[in-house]
Amino acid sequence: MRFVDSHLHLWDVSQVPLSWFRDGQGLPARAVVDDLLADLAATGAAPPEGAVVVQAADTLAELRWLLAAAERDPLVSAVVAQYEPRPGWWAGTAQAVLDHPALAGIRLAVPTRAADLSDVPGVDELAAGLAATGAVLELLIRPEQLPAAASVAAAHPDLTIVLCHLGLGGNEPDDRWRQGLQAVAEHARVMAKVSGLHTPGRDPASVPAIVADAVGILGIERLMFGSDWPISTRTFSYQETLRRTHAALPELEPRDADSFWRGLATRLYLG
């Protein structure tokens, strides 16, 4: 099966420290392309034809390290930077590398911030800048922040917004989440990644219902696959994440299957 992975991470804390990384989290200290390929080979899985690497922390040194990986490894098709505000720079730390051809977007990772995002500096400036350049705004948010995402979409109709992990984060699906998805669904340029659903605390049997809600509200044409590797390895191998994602989907026409597994991600990040 041909596919693009729209959401994975790379790091090596011996080279570029991550502020949040601690021993005992069940995560490897090194997660680079060679490690990913080894994991796939161990289970007989074919690699993706391309991958979107999302910055795991927020330093410029880490971002430069990821962009260097994109320069030397054809598997790394695009990089999404993490937003870290800098005075006078609408793109935050990413402003220093905005002209890099592999930089495809910037992510706001703000699940602990206010529901209306009022305490996140520079959101409108970031959205306007990304809309002007044609890059993607990714959002790692919790369900009660989805109406704020809809407000950003309304204020910036030319901006493409992508919700990481269906806007669920580590939360369980409920009416607040479904209503939030319905709010963002009113804006045609809001997409979402079917990623990060197989977490240690979630019953795997609940994932098909989550995916069914997302398909019913957003439509399959606005959804794409993401592995969330190596975070996902706390629960399943890469191959098992692929298998379970496939099993969670409804039966798809070939055109819709191609859109989900590779087409949308290619258009948004690799085109």
Domains of the chain (ranges; CATH) run 4-270 (3.20.20.140)
Q: What pLDDT, on the 0 to 100 scale, is given for residue 170?
A: 82
Q: What is the pTM of this model?
A: 0.97
Q: At what angle do helices 207-218 and 175-185 cross, to 10 degrees?
A: 30
CA 129 vs CA 32, 64, 82, 133, 160: distances in Å: 30, 20, 15, 6, 12
**Whether residue 200 has pLDDT greater than 90:** no
The tokens of 117 are what? 């995002």
Average confidence score pLDDT of the chain: 96
CA dist., res. 139 & res. 111, Å (int): 9
**Whether residue 105 has pLDDT greater than 90:** yes
Tell me which of 32-36, 72-76, 170-174 is least confident: 170-174
pLDDT tens-digit readout, 46-94 = 899 999 999 999 999 999 999 999 999 999 999 999 999 999 999 999 9
Q: What pLDDT, on the 0 to 100 scale, is given for residue 39?
A: 87
